[in-house]
Chains A and B, each alone.
Chain A
Amino acid sequence: GAGVSQSPSNKVTEKGKDVELRCDPISGHTALYWYRQSLGQGLEFLIYFQGNSAPDKSGLPSDRFSAERTGGSVSTLTIQRTQQEDSAVYLCASTLHPGTGNYNEQFFGPGTRLTVL
């Protein structure tokens, strides 16, 4: 079956411009996560959706970052007025059974490589 897909795969933008990153989770997966990974670094949690609601936005670096999810499926991460430090790979993951104590493997998309010039 289809895995998690993300678009675009690469995005080069100029400082100050807005960008929109898209994630299509695996069909039926209720939870969706956004992470950021800078070169040589671990994954930095950004935001988590359960259905269409975001119970945990604690990882968003600033108010320039926002995300939404509609129909319990596709999610969009928007970065306004991009800065050079926003350059990173943005990864999306989805899982079928979120929750402590449950087997909740996260399936990752291939990521969007964002470069802010």
Chain B
Amino acid sequence: RKEVEQDPGPFNVPEGATVAFNCTYSNSASQSFFWYRQDCRKEPKLLMSVYSSGNEDGRFTAQLNRASQYISLLIRDSKLSDSATYLCVVNLPDYKLSFGAGTTVTVRA
């Protein structure tokens, strides 16, 4: 079983729509969680950290469910510029980050 699993998508949504997707992780000892964004043929960049109580950053909302071992990302009022691959990232106890394969989102005009 992979350490981090994501629905690859693609999620194809119109501008202004809300899109949400999850990832699951297998190591219950994981302590830190992140969403990274990767544009086509570019390096990944941190989008936001995910805190236990859930957190928002503008149009982006991240939530963590430790009991079920999943993390979610919701994008409200989506923009064309939100089109990217979103990587779910989990900090394993041995300092290593484990990356999901990514969820592709395409926002169309």
| Residue positions of A touching B, CB distance < 8 A | 31, 33, 35, 41-43, 45, 48, 50, 55-56, 91, 98-106, 108-111
Cβ–Cβ < 8 Å partners of B49 in chain A: 103, 105
Cβ–Cβ < 8 Å partners of A111 in chain B: 43
Please, how many angstroms separate the alpha-carbon atoms of A80 and B49 in the complex?
37
Contact of A45 among B42, B44, B87, B96 (CB under 8 A): B96
Which candidate, B54-62, B74-82, B98-106, is the interface stretch facing chain A?
B98-106
Cβ–Cβ < 8 Å partners of A56 in chain B: 94-96
For the side of the interface on B, what is the size category?
A: 20 to 34
Cβ–Cβ < 8 Å partners of B44 in chain A: 43, 91, 108
Are B95 and A42 in contact, CB atoms less than 8 angstroms apart? no
Are B31 and A101 in contact, CB atoms less than 8 angstroms apart? yes
Please, how many angstroms separate the alpha-carbon atoms of A41 and B93 in the complex?
24
Are A41 and B101 in contact, CB atoms less than 8 angstroms apart? yes
Contact code string B34-59 (vs A, CB < 8 Å = 1, else 0): 10000000111110010000000000
Contact of A101 among B32, B43, B97 (CB under 8 A): B32
Please, how many angstroms separate the alpha-carbon atoms of A75 and B2 in the complex?
28
> Known contacts being A42-B102, A108-B43, is A48 close to B32, with CB within 8 Å?
no
Main secondary structure of the interface of A (DSSP, over half): loop
Are A42 and B42 in contact, CB atoms less than 8 angstroms apart? no
Please, how many angstroms separate the alpha-carbon atoms of A96 and B2 in the complex?
27
Contact of A100 among B32, B42, B87 (CB under 8 A): B32
CB A79 to nearest CB in B, in angstroms, measures 20
Please, how many angstroms separate the alpha-carbon atoms of A111 and B97 in the complex?
18
Contact of A109 among B43, B96, B99 (CB under 8 A): B43
Cβ–Cβ < 8 Å partners of B42 in chain A: 110
Cβ–Cβ < 8 Å partners of B34 in chain A: 105
Are A43 and B99 in contact, CB atoms less than 8 angstroms apart? yes
CB A95 to nearest CB in B, in angstroms, measures 9
